[in-house]
Amino acid sequence: MCRTGGVPDPAGTGDGASTDAAFTALLEDSAEDLYESAPCGYLSTLMDGTIAKINATLLDWLGLEREAVVGRKRFTDLLTVGGRLYHETHFAPLLRMQGELRGVALEMRREGGGRLPVLVSAVLKHGTEGEPLLIRTTVFDASDRRAYEEELLRRRQEAERARAEAERSRAEAEAARRQAEADRARLAAALAVLQQSLVPDSLPAVPGLETAVHYHTASPDRLGGDFYDLFPVAGDRWAFFLGDVCGKGPEAASLTSLTRYTLRAAAHLDPEPAAALATLNAVLHERYTADGNPRYCTCIFGIVEPAGEHGPAVVRLAAGGHPPALVLRSDGSAQYLPTPGGMLVGVLTDAPIGTASTVLNPGDTLVLYTDGLTEARSGPGRDDRYGEDALLAFGAGRAPATPREVVTALTGLLEGFGDGLDDDTALLALGVPASPAPVTPPATSRLP
């Protein structure tokens, strides 16, 4: 039997009076109470971002007073520096085009300097004539994502301890080995999928340029910290970068992801290499220094402007603590393109940034690499490192060479290091195709 408008009596006791009383109590909640005390944050903003309405849940999360927010702040004022960059370059334009967005990851600032990772959904409300009137936004607390990373690290440590203890007994060791190998396989599969999301599988085709890339992961069960990218910016210019974050594992993956999307967003706002690295330095310093666990990276960022098929390309570079780029010239020479004075990105408030520029003529190739290459052990001792001098000689012995030829040769070099290559290594090469050789017409003879 059903009571109260078709809702069944859950206890099956026929006590209709108590059931009716319970539903009556629920119906006494007003719409305003449900809005203010919802388990997620709500706010409504004007089209310029000014906050017109916000619920108590979100105010409590951020530690703000309603009088200081409504009509006084914009939605972007509640976001971190990185969040504001992403909002202006991606979130807001997509919302205007699509009318709604769901589950976008951002970070909001708490009063007092804390941060709140959130998932944001937004929808435009339109008037009778179809004009946009305001934006309604829902905010969900995403702090559990960090808890997931900690849980992943904890489980891995438990697996390692289990393997060490299992060696005390042959029978226990065999059982522990099978369990550990199964866990390792699952972890490696999960990490491989995550690693693929941090670096592009291939590079886009660039008119007037040839490109090649290679990524070597030193350990299949640890997330690497090297990263690279190539993408178009304003006009005919293309931005590219390559770098190495500190550490390994989930923390390095989080830092890599933040670094890549920050550089992409910064390049679209100001494509000057030094400006892009300065923005990255500010974001990393603000994000990681406040909690007493500074994180940093080395990075080289460039802008290339091809002049068309078989034409020269102008390259401008900026670097922070990264090895110099290697240039293989069409005349058979090789040289480094130093960027002196650049400091690690994210350590200092205003880190010095080294800059350089060059012109790639037809047949020239520019090579970027991480220090896994030059710091690989190439001799019997642990201090026998390959080094930059050997890399320069290696390049000079193969110049001129196309980007694909250079990367193929360097890949073979990496494989030759064997166990001496104990760090991740990324390679990115780009160059101007060589001009085709002139066709000489066949000789002719005149008959008398």
Same domain, 315 and 420: yes
| Relative orientation angle of helices 144-166 and 249-269, to the nearest 10 degrees | 150
Structure tokens at 256: 């890599």
Which pLDDT does position 442 carry in this prediction? 54
pLDDT > 80? residue 19: no
Structure tokens at 73: 């702040």
Which amino acid is present at 46?
Answer: L
Contact (Cβ atoms closer than 8 angstroms) between residue 123 and residue 134: no
For the residues of 220-280, what is the DSSP string, one character each? Answer: TTS---EEEEEEE-STT-EEEEEEEESS-HHHHHHHHHHHHHHHHHHHHH---HHHHHHHH
Same domain, 267 and 312: yes
Contact (Cβ atoms closer than 8 angstroms) between residue 91 and residue 131: no
Q: Indicate whether 11 belongs to any domain.
A: no
Q: CATH no. for residue 281?
A: 3.60.40.10
Q: Indicate whether 353 belongs to any domain.
A: yes
Average pLDDT in the chain = 85
Same domain, 186 and 274: no
β pairing state of 238-245 and 297-306: antiparallel
Which amino acid is present at 45?
Answer: T
Same domain, 182 and 248: no
Which pLDDT does position 295 carry in this prediction? 87
Contact (Cβ atoms closer than 8 angstroms) between residue 106 and residue 75: no
Q: CATH no. for residue 77?
A: 3.30.450.20
Q: How many angstroms from the chain centroid is the CA of residue 167?
A: 40
Which pLDDT does position 121 carry in this prediction? 95
Same domain, 237 and 168: no
Same domain, 167 and 223: no
β pairing state of 354-360 and 313-320: antiparallel
Would residue 9 be called left, alpha or beta, if left means φ above 0 and alpha means ψ between -120 and 50 degrees? beta
Helix (H) or strand (E) holding 326: strand 325-328
d(CA 23, CA 100): 34
Same domain, 83 and 97: yes
Bond before 306 cis per omega within 30 degrees: no
- How many angstroms separate the Cα of 291 from the Cα of each of 113, 118, 341? 10, 19, 28
Same domain, 103 and 182: no
Q: Indicate whether 2 belongs to any domain.
A: no
Structure tokens at 228: 């690279």
Q: Indicate whether 295 belongs to any domain.
A: yes
Same domain, 302 and 360: yes
Is the Cα dihedral 177, 179, 183, 188 positive or negative?
Answer: positive
Residues across the chain:
448
d(CA 323, CA 388): 9
Structure tokens at 109: 């600032």
For the chain, what is the domain count? 3
Residue 282 neighbours by CB under 8 Å, 6+ apart: 81
For residue range 104-150, list pLDDT tens digits in order.
999 999 998 889 999 999 999 998 888 999 999 999 998 876 677 66
Q: Indicate whether 170 belongs to any domain.
A: yes
Contact (Cβ atoms closer than 8 angstroms) between residue 38 and residue 55: yes
Which pLDDT does position 391 carry in this prediction? 96
Among 155, 173, 194, give the residue marking a domain's end: 194
Residue 368 neighbours by CB under 8 Å, 6+ apart: 228, 240, 242, 300, 302, 325, 426, 427, 428, 429
Same domain, 390 and 250: yes
pLDDT > 50? residue 2: no
For residue range 131-140, list pLDDT tens digits in order.
999 999 999 9
Q: 335: closest CA among 266, 388, 282?
A: 388
For residue range 316-371, list pLDDT tens digits in order.
999 999 999 999 999 999 999 999 989 999 999 999 999 999 999 999 999 999 99
Same domain, 366 and 423: yes
Q: Indicate whether 7 belongs to any domain.
A: no
Which pLDDT does position 445 carry in this prediction? 42
Q: Indicate whether 22 belongs to any domain.
A: no
Q: 284: closest CA among 325, 316, 246, 238?
A: 246
Which of residues 444 and 37 earns the better pLDDT score? 37
For residue range 410-442, list pLDDT tens digits in order.
999 999 998 888 889 999 999 999 977 554 555
Same domain, 315 and 222: yes
Among 142, 168, 184, give the residue marking a domain's end: 142
Q: Indicate whether 61 belongs to any domain.
A: yes
Domain that holds residue 87: 37-142
pLDDT > 70? residue 221: no
Contact (Cβ atoms closer than 8 angstroms) between residue 61 and residue 41: yes
Which pLDDT does position 158 carry in this prediction? 85
Query: Residue 71: pLDDT band by 50, 70, 90 thresholds?
Result: very high
Half-sphere exposure of 358 (CA within 13 A, CB side): 23
